[in-house]
Amino acid sequence: MANEETFATRVDPVLVTLPDRCRVAARAFGPDDAPPVLFVAGGDGGMLQWRGLIPELCVDAAERELFAEAGCEASLAADVRVAAFDARGVGWSSRSHGVCTTTGAAAADVLALAAALFQRRFHLVGHGLGGAAALQVALAGGRLVSSLTLVSSTAGGEAMTPPGQAFYEVRAALADALEHGEQEDYADLVCRDVELGFTSRFVAAHRALIDHLAAEALHDMVWELELARRGAAGMTAAAGRGEQFATHDVVARLSEVATPTLVICGSEDAVLPPGNAQELVGRIPGSRLVTLKAGHMLTIECATDVAASVRAHVLLHP
């Protein structure tokens, strides 16, 4: 378990300048000579989504303890070189260059970032919409990618298995509250939205962690609203990622993916149901499917199993 004596706080982010001069924040951990792995977050695009697999990203010992109590104890950084980043317009990354509105644009950022961080071939792990961008990277620069792992992701298009009804109901209610209500009106909805990423079993067993994640999500949402109130120009990161999700469709090109591919899904995923993973495996040549008894955020809910699967896949394809 984490404690004040053994926990090392996260390193300060490195700001990587992309070709259009946008500065993207990244953090890297693990041996310099180990296989390099770049993690691409879904959801809000923030690197903190990977705390289940990379606990070094936790801000302090208290937060580390919350994740450890939920089973997120081992770090992939023990024997591979891991890096995670905030997408443009998110977290520590620059807002002044706009946000990505297509998964192709997000993939271009990933390729440029990997080149700056590693200067060599790398492994790629993407979750949700981050997996959609990772797929685009494999299609655009497959020779640079040693292996690909898609977690709770989708190829999009007409073949996509849509989220469950509860997902749409919560998102619709949240959108309405944000437009017409006050902060106290949508705090509960944010918590319900976070809960949808996990099974009810996990939510009941790890209430403190769920509340912590919900408080983070609410803080980020309030900050976005405050920026809009102050007259910040341009599309928000959330809106940009919504555009990515709506237009993502690589179904017809999945047979072109030549990168060794592992697909991991949660059997109880209410956000991107397992039919999406089955579609990926059915169309990507030589791909392999791992199904875990978990929800969408299986990188936290089944962190040990996901880490073991990713590590084995990476080391199998040096």
The series of mean pLDDT values per 10 residues for the chain, 318 residues long, is 46 89 96 96 94 95 96 93 96 90 96 95 97 96 92 95 92 80 76 96 98 93 72 73 92 96 98 97 98 98 98 96
pLDDT tens digits along 186-202: 888 999 999 999 999 99
pLDDT tens digits along 42-69: 988 999 999 999 999 999 999 999 999 9
277 in a structural domain: yes
182 in a structural domain: no
267 in a structural domain: yes
Q: Tokens at residue 268, please?
A: 């109880």
pTM of the model: 0.93
CATH of the domain at 299: 3.40.50.1820
Q: Tokens at residue 125, please?
A: 């792990």
What is the structure's pLDDT at 180?
72
| Boundaries of domain holding 24 | 14-164+236-316
283 in a structural domain: yes
Q: State the burial class of residue 258 (Cβ atoms within 10 Å of its Cβ: 0-12, 13-18, 19+).
A: middle
26 in a structural domain: yes
What is the structure's pLDDT at 200?
97
CB 232 within 8 A of CB 224: no
203 in a structural domain: no
276 in a structural domain: yes
209 in a structural domain: no
What is the structure's pLDDT at 62?
94
State how many domains the chain has.
Answer: 1
What is the structure's pLDDT at 184?
66
> For 33, phi and psi rounded to 5 degrees?
-95, 5
